[in-house]
A and B are shown apart, each in its own frame.
Chain A
Amino acid sequence: MQRSADRRDDVSLAAGVGLVALGALLLLDQSGAIDLTLGWFGATVAAVLGTVLLVSGLRDPAPPPPPSPPPRLARQSE
């Protein structure tokens, strides 16, 4: 179970869910159930991309911080 959670890629998950929602919106427009405008479509795409970027920023592990700076570096330029 822990292994499955480790392998889960939240960015792919968010992008997949966003694309399904975007596709559903387009399908509704194609079927005539809604009348999609450029403004609403642009806002929806921006929301999907923003969500993916947000998840990417929150979930992707940052590399470990470097060790403290060695003080001898200050003397190298002398």
Chain B
Amino acid sequence: MNDEERTEDQAPEEPETEHRPAEEHETEPTAVLEEGSKPKRLLRSGDDRMIAGVAGGLGRYFQVDPVIFRIGFAVSVFFGGLGVLAYLALWLFVPADPEPGQEASLAPAQRSRLLGIGVIVVGVIVVLSAAGSFVFWGDWGWGGDGPWGLLVLLLIGAGVYALLRDREPGKPMTVGRGLAMVGLAVLAAIGLGALALVSAFTAATGSGTVIALVVIGVGAMLAIAAFRGGARWLIAPALAIAIPLGIVSAADISFAGGIGERYHQPPSRAELADRYELGVGRLVVDLRDIDWSRESSDVPLEVDLGIGEAAVIIPESVCVSPDLHVGAGEIELGSGKTDGVDLDEVSATAPTAGPALLLEGEVDLGTLRVLTEYDEHDGPPFGRFDEHGSEDRAAVC
């Protein structure tokens, strides 16, 4: 067995010799070497690492080639991503190789990493809820309602700083370097987010072909650059424009109907359009002013919304024959409320005493609600659904 094949738990215990070269590296952890009689410790490898040294540490622990673990983690991506979760868990809870002269326990670093990830998760949740508020209610808290933007940036920045500080154990990060790295990370995140928004918006307005051609062009550039040393930095921007395009295309999201709030209250059956459409925002079709007692036949209506909330308000005396679809979100109708992905609510028309509303509704991302009488008539009921809670869901025929 030569020196390279020897593992830390098999280290010889012969005394130190004076012939040890001065330039010899002391990269193996002291704590591990001392514990020849103790059980082996699983540590993330500091010198054989692609991301966090998890596969390298597992390979060393089980004395097999770490590539096998790397392949396992990569293949697991195709099977629900359980291996990715396992990798993240090992990254979080398995300590890394200590630096020479440092104790094996890296509890402060572990805490720092956990804190960093936790803070970033909180920041992202705040961003997503603020973005949802912006998309659905038009109330963006970046300035008007308080310093939310600054708070979110501070949260994310603190998390990134905690993570970066842990990358070089024993080397405290200076304030200037930390701020520079946080600034770069925030700028990169903002840039990628802007690219993703532009891609999604362009695709939703009907120019997705251009974005698809850009993705192909960037891919070709990346492949060509591979023979000149590579250009891996292009991968993230390319994915930032490709993934939103795919999501928008797959979900059939379209902004063709415009953006904002639309309130339609036709006073009579003659004024009722066959179809109401909106790209992003809130779409309300209020059918209570129509004199349904004069209708002798069923009334067809089509409502199409890209992202946001669509609501159809009808009198209690009218029942609904629904053919509803929501790509992702929720449907409120009759006695039920369902949420999830690819929701359908279809009911065959049943013979009724009066006219029925043949409602065909489509919302790509958001909520589709069919309500009955609302107790206020003064103006559009924007924002009142949640405030009053007095609406009732319409009955299915």
- Residues of A bordering B, CB below 8 Å: 4, 7-13, 15-27, 29-31, 36-38, 40-41, 43-47, 49-50, 52-54, 56-58, 60, 62-63, 65-77
Contact = CB atoms under 8 A, between A and B. Distances in A.
A47 B75 CA distance: 9
B25 A67 contact: yes
Nearest to A8: B227
A69 B50 CA distance: 23
Contacts of B220: 16, 20
Given A23-B215, A23-B216, A66-B47, A38 B247 contact: yes
B250 A36 contact: yes
A33 to B, nearest CB: 12
Contacts, number: 197
* Chain B: number of interface residues, binned into ranges: 35 or more
Given A36-B249, A50-B78, A57-B74, A12 B230 contact: yes
Interface centre among A19, A71, A74 (most CB of B within 10 A): A19
14 contacts: A9-B232, A12-B230, A13-B226, A15-B235, A21-B219, A23-B216, A25-B246, A26-B211, A31-B209, A50-B78, A53-B77, A62-B48, A66-B28, A69-B33
Nearest to A41: B246
B387 interface: no
A11 B263 CA distance: 52
What are the 5 closest A-B residue pairs judged by CB atoms, nearest first?
A9-B230, A19-B219, A72-B16, A16-B223, A16-B222
A12 B15 contact: no
B219 A23 contact: yes
A66 B216 contact: no
Contact of A67 (B3, B30, B235): B3
A69 B3 CA distance: 9
Nearest to B221: A16
A56 B49 CA distance: 11
Interface centre among B71, B219, B224 (most CB of A within 10 A): B219
B212 interface: yes
Given A19-B218, A68-B4, A70-B20, A12 B225 contact: yes
B27 interface: yes
Q: Please report whether the interface of chain A is mostly helix, strand, loop or mixed according to DSSP.
A: helix
A27 B245 CA distance: 10
Contacts of A67: 3, 24-25
A62 B60 CA distance: 14
Contacts of B250: 29, 36-38, 40-41
Interface centre among A10, A47, A65 (most CB of B within 10 A): A65
Interface centre among B8, B224, B227 (most CB of A within 10 A): B227
B331 to A, nearest CB: 18
Contacts of A73: 26, 28, 30, 33-34
A62 B218 CA distance: 29
Contacts of A58: 67, 70-71
Contacts of A30: 208-209, 212, 249
